[in-house]
Each structure stands twice: as C-alpha cells, then as structure tokens.
Amino acid sequence: MTKKEKVQFVINTLEEIYPETPIPLDHKDPYTLLIAVLLSAQSTDKGVNKITPILFAKADNPYDMVKLTVDEIRTIIRPCGLSPMKSKGIHGLSEILIEKHKGKVPVSFEALEELPSVGHKTASVVMSQAFDIPAFPVDTHIHRLMYRWNLTNGKNVVQTEKDAKRLFPKELWNKLHLQIIYYGREFSPARGWNVENDIIFKTIGRKSVLK
C-alpha cells in the first residue's frame, strides 16, 4: 500500500468503528473543559470525571474559582495527581482570564498557551473540542499508534503532530484525533496489546515493534 492508501485505510476503518466521537471529559462550556483537560495530565478521563463534579459544584467559572484558595482546590483535585502544580495552575489561569479576557476562555492558541499549566496539547484540545477550530492534539495514544502504523518516526510528539497534520485532511482533524484515542484504548493499548484484534496494525503496521 502507498502512504496515501494507508492513510485512507485508517480514516475509513476509524469512521466505520467510531462514527460518533463523544468528548470523553465531562464539561458544559469552554472553561470547564479547559479545567478538565488540565486535570487529565497523567490521569485518566474516568478519574477526572469523578473529580470535576465536586470541583464544579463549588466553582464552575473563573470568578468563583478565585474565591477558593489554592489549598482548597488542591484538596479537591488530589486524586487526579500532580495536585500542587494543577491547583496553582487552575487558580492562576482563572485570575488571568478575569484580568485579561473578561472571564472568558480565549479563542487563540497563543493566548491559551500563555495561561499557567496550559501547554500546546491542552490548548489544542480546547480549540478543537470547545471551539471547533481544526487542531490535532497528540496524546500518548496518538503518539504510540502513529508510530505503530509507520506514519511517523516516533521521535517526539511535536514531530508526530506535524506528520498527522501533513497526512490527514484538515477537516477531519477534530474528529480523527478522538477516533484514534478511542481505537488506541480499545485495540492498541500500551500494555496487554492483542495484535490479532488490531486490524489497522495488521494491515499497515510497523512490524519491527513486535520484536
């Protein structure tokens, strides 16, 4: 298969398996999504979804969030891990949203990445899932699968994102990155991987990863 045919096979297969791609993090608006994505670093979506209802019951907007102390936020989000850094980030970005953006989440990669504890991946998730602006957030699942599928050299997530954006049509990015995440979790996990169930890898995969 040519590279173009492999890409089309991935697109077709994922669309067949995952025609619908619900956002895995529970939220109601761009701010609550931003907080949920920040909390998801080195945590599971399931774990975050257990914590956010507790946090958002106290503060689901930046104005209420800054009324909480960093320690109060930290106590609530502790089960998500990295709570010292995340609590400072949540409180700090809420202050900046009030001071610079009238309490609204900015629709800009640059402005988002200026917020405390918000990196490029978090900004990309918010831009794609909250504002429907084309982005291709690369998490560990996408990085792993793009390498297994021989669609990137696997050196780093920056290169993987560049390759994904180069190979896949822009109008598919927002849905496709979620489809790949769902596929990775179900058919191509880092541990307990059953290659026989992984139709995409069996068809186009980098066989050297099996050695």
Task: Give the separation between CA 135 and CA 188, rounded to whole angstroms.
Answer: 23
Degrees (nearest 5) of the Cα angle 172, 125, 166? 40
Which residue in 204, 185, 205 sits closest to 193, CA to CA? 185
* Residues tagged active-site: 121, 139
Task: Give the separation between CA 138 and CA 141, rounded to whole angstroms.
Answer: 8
CB 200 within 8 A of CB 139: no
CB 156 within 8 A of CB 199: no
What one-letter code names the amino acid at 191? R
